Amino acid sequence: GQNIDQPTEMTATEGAIVQINCTYQTSGFNGLFWYQQHAGEAPTFLSYNVLDGLEEKGRFSSFLSRSKGYSYLLLKELQMKDSASYLCAVGSYAGNNRKLIWGLGTSLAVNP
Amino acid sequence: GAGVSQSPSNKVTEKGKDVELRCDPISGHTALYWYRQRLGQGLEFLIYFQGNSAPDKSGLPSDRFSAERTGESVSTLTIQRTQQEDSAVYLCASSSVGPGTPTYEQYFGPGTRLTVT
A96, pLDDT greater than 80: no
B56 alpha carbon, distance to own chain's centre: 13
Q: Predicted confidence band at B103 (pLDDT cuts at 50, 70, 90)?
A: low
Distance CA B52, CA A112 (A): 51
pLDDT recorded at residue A94: 67
Distance CA A87, CA A75 (A): 14
Q: Which residues contact A10 (CB under 8 A, 6 or more apart)?
A: A18, A20, A106, A107, A108, A109
Q: How many CB atoms lie within 10 A of CB B24?
A: 18
Q: A76: distance to nearest CA of chain B, Å?
A: 24
Chain A neighbors of B58, CB-CB under 8 A: none
**A65-A103-A107-A82 Cα dihedral, nearest 10 degrees:** 60
Chain B neighbors of A100, CB-CB under 8 A: 106
Average pLDDT over residues B72-84: 95
